[in-house]
Amino acid sequence: MSDVTLIAADAEARRRIAADLDTSFLVEAGAGSGKTTSLVARMIALVESGKAEVRRMAAITFTNKAAAELRGRFRMKLEQRLRDAEDETTRERLSLALRQIPEGFVGTIHAFCGRLLRERPMEAGLDPEFAEMDETESRERLQLYWDDYLLELRERNESAIDALAGLGVHVEDLRAVYLCVAMYEDVDVFTEDAPRPDFDRLRLSLLPLIDEAVRALPTNRPEGGWDALQQALRAAAAFRRSRDVEDDLTLLALATTFDKALGVTQKRWPDPKTAKALKERFAEWRADVLLPFLRSWKEFLHPQVVRFVLPAVAYARERRLQEGALSFQDLLMKATTMLRERREVRRYFSSRYARLFVDEFQDTDPVQAEMMLLLTGADPDVDEWRKQRPKPGALFIVGDPKQSIYRFRRADISTYNLVKRIMGQCGAVLQLTRNFRSVRSVGDFVNYAFEGKFMPPGKSDDTQADFVRMLTTRANPTGKGLRHGVFTLTSPKAEYDRKADIASEDADRVARWISWACDGNLRVAEREGGKEATRPARPDDFLVLLKYREFIGLYAERLEAYGIPSDTSGSQVLYDELRALRMLAACLHDPSDRVPLLATLRGPLFGVSDEALYAYTMEVGRISLYGGADGDGGGPDGSNQSSPTGAPVREALAALRTMLGIVRKEPALSAFLRLTERLGLLPFAAGSPSGSIRAGTLAKLYETIAGHPEAASDWGALTRLLGEIADANGLEGASLFAGTGRAVRIMNLHKAKGLEAPIVFLACPCGDSDRDATEHIDRMQEPAAGYFAITRRKEFQTEVVAQPIGWPEVAEKERLYMHAERDRLLYVAATRAKQLTIVSRYPYKPAIDPWSHLAPALEGQPELDDVQRGELPRERWDGPFDAEEALRAWREAHAKASAPSYAVASVTSLAKGGAAEATPPRPTAGRGAAFGTVVHRALEAVGNGLSRDELDAFVRVASAEEALDVAYAAEALAMVDAVLASDLWRRVELAARRYHEFTFTAAAREDGKDRIVNGVIDLVFEEDDGGWVIVDFKTDGMAVEDEAAFAAFYAPQVEAYADYWRRLTGAVVKETGLLFLHTNRYVRTAPIAAQSGPEAG
């Protein structure tokens, strides 16, 4: 298909999205095609046409960030269209849409399911007070439930654990598959019984062969050492002398020592021909006997293992439901089950959310496909989702199968293809191919690189998507300092191809080049007002992507060394401070454990030398935290003093005893913060190389502990948490100043979906490998089937313990999916750049380079120049240290930093502060703040669409939530009813636009001081003449004769609101007033023309 045809089809697709509102669509939107713009355009068109109200719309996004962006752009577009609208009917619809935004839904699929379940918890079989867990908490609970399950089995004297041990399977080897199966509770785990293989075949074939081969070994160690086969035979002979090979598992352990290629060096054997023959016979035995036997043994073990794991998964599910703690998967499955099994609920929500929008569908959970088709299906009596067809215009899906990269999180491209076929039958499949992000040279590279990796147009299958050309609309920039297209950055050969060395070299070159570019040597082209303009490059123009997380922190450290700020996402770092704190926590948790005690003394916190430890031990005795007042247990001579050599140990032990006292007296988090402050860890980290990242990560550790209630309160739990963090290779790194300015973004590739940048580095050309599959989900079966292999780590490799029948064929099928997703990941990486893509390469060992699959397309691309830049010099002081002067300087700096740079105030406090001479009369009745809150909430709810029929129940619930005395609830309802019958409310109902409880924040400057002013306007509405009316509600109990006094007191407040409204929006405020709810009287205040107010911005 020619580009001209594609462009015409793209234009027609965009027209249909905004105009064909009674057709359901699946829109395949390529990278940078403006899919969010198209989605918003359809939502606006539905509002303006009157075909849908916002409160009956639901838009499901992939992330909370995407939801916030969509919500903001939708609101801005509504406001823009309202300003430009001339037709009265259209204005009314847009105004209503703005008021209904809180009633509609924009968020993730899990948040949407949570909303459905909270509205109908009983029908879903849930505790109405259920809590939603994030991924971290969900995984922690799964780990806890596994431990509890094993403990219960042991307490009940169940034989299952012993039975597995009798088969050579340790239950801890099953933890990984338990966690994996728990992710796929919607599939049937495939398992099939297999007979126990005949061990005699193994025994009768292997033992005679070993005996024969051992007789052929040389008597003495040959020159050059034993070769591989000789080593295996000598180990086998020693094994047989000490073990009974009549035991089946012992025999199996012996046999597996020959499960590898065993080479021979013929000159090291007495008879070279015999050596060669033995090598061939062992290879034949391995192929003909051992490998088939191991496959049969693993297939025999598989059903035993699965039958052990499945009850553990069910146990974890029941525990979650009992505790009212739902994982993301629970939310999705519970909501979908409720929609499938409760038709009356399905009808209700189908009416409640008449228009459903789904973004990033290629990476959503397959259960979501069932949920959305049930929710939008035309036939409410059909429970099978595959047979449902969406109502006309009810479903709008956006996705790009070329960017499906979350298979490890249950994303399934075969489900995407199934829904695509359904949408093609009852609606239409559209394609957006024009790219508004990248310049032409980047687009040309992407098209050339991926045409052969994706399927031909119209030929997609269940593993890979169609290729669709990316039609870029931006021309290549020209001019001095402008670079565009694709460059390579080739790393030199590293000794032994060590990945740490490769990453270090690449990180330094990337950091140097970014530093050079930001020093006025590179210009960035961008669009301003529809025209291309250029400017110098800034750090935030750069996006550094790594396929894996391991070295993200390294790139941030190198950037910092060259003075370039960075923000990281997805990194995993374990600095010395974290290791030391883990040991310190363990030491103080169990002072009798000498291992963490000695590690703490020898570590960076105290730095005690071996010489000092030896001297202390010889002079004083045992190193222990238990002792006398002087901190030592006393030596053989009764002395508890040590020599200058051993003094550091004595001082360190005294400090640790002080810390132990703090830990025993205070809550864990409080004690932890005090200890780190005493140790000076935060300034130490900040003053170290890569200080902002090290200190920021330490600060994040504080936040992590505070987020775990048990760890924050109990030192033992805090110790375990620190151990888990260290065992998981640390925390996600964070800069101390993250988010405070323009910075280079560094992240792993999966975090980059939806992001863009003028210059993108595909960095870190190492760490890749072609991993074997461990699970495969087949959703083409009914029901969906899950195939899981059970593996364990053995030295430096993964060993398969058990596998289902037919696993090699299934694993090969999964490998096709994995390779297809690898190519889609490369596509995501290659389409992030607006102007320049730079690909790091390591051609000396392509197997470890994650970008090596782009190599054919990279041939001929220019190499990035290797610029030379010096690191920023670290400040050094070699003179004498004046402690008093340093302390004085610190106090001055601290006082200066502690002085507030701005003040925070509310409009109410400012207005009342300026009207000190006015004092309101004493109220005639006091009902408390809760009364006013309930009335305000009720009026806001009615203003946003709550019907009168629902008002009674709303007031009852609000009164309970605000702890309002039940005697006042009826009075609050009567007060609201009186307002709804007033002339003022009739004006509100006729208003072109209206906002209730409008919250704002503005910067102001008064008396030469900066101030942040916060305010909440109870009611603001626009009338037909374009003038705005601002009303403040007052619930004070008052007599009518006191009205003037109350009005004089409150007038400055409402007039201040009007002044801020005018300054912030530029609108004309024609009237301000106070609505006294006790008497239901509306009092206009003085005109605001003379009210100057503070300078606002």
Show binding-site residues for ATP.
29-36
| CA–CA dist 53, 767 (Å, integer) | 51
| Amino acid identity at 614 | Y
**What is the CB neighbour count within 10 angstroms for residue 891?**
10
Q: How many CA atoms lie within 13 A of 409 on its CB side?
A: 12
Query: Residues with Cβ < 8 Å from 333, sequence gap 6 or more?
Result: 185, 186, 367
Could you tell me if 225 and 267 are in contact, meaning their C-beta atoms sit under 8 angstroms apart? no
Q: Are 1056 and 1023 in contact (CB under 8 A)?
A: no
Angle between helix axes 64-84 and 88-100 (nearest 10 degrees) is 150
Strand, coil or helix: what is 181?
helix
Residue among 1050, 747, 1028, 719 nearest 915 (CA): 1050
Is it true that the peptide bond before 783 is cis, omega within 30 degrees of 0?
yes
For residues 136-159, b (16+ Cβ closer than 10 Å) or e, as one string?
eebeebbeebbeebbeebeeeeee
Least Cα distance to 256 among 302, 285, 290, 228 occurs for 290
Binding residues: 29-36
Please provide residue 724's backbone torsions phi and psi, each rounded to the nearest 5 degrees: -65, -40
1080 Rama class: left (phi>0) / alpha (psi -120 to 50) / beta: left
**Backbone phi, then psi, for 52, in 5-degree steps?**
-155, 150
Cα–Cα distance list, 799 to 167, 235, 493, 657 (Å): 16, 21, 31, 46
Which residues are 1016's β-sheet partners? 999
Which of 8, 827, 42 has the alpha carbon at shortest distance from 397? 42
Distance CA 662, CA 656 (A): 10
Distance CA 218, CA 226 (A): 9
Reported as half-sphere exposure (CB side, CA atoms, 13 A), residue 200 has a value of: 0
Q: At 355, which helix (H) or strand (E)?
A: strand 355-358
Handedness of CA 504, 506, 511, 513 (dihedral sign): positive
Indicate the helix (H) or strand (E) that contains 733.
Answer: none
Distances (CA, A) of 627 to 87, 354, 622: 88, 74, 10
Residue with tokens 């033995």: 278
Give, as one character, the DSSP assignment of residue 168.
Answer: T
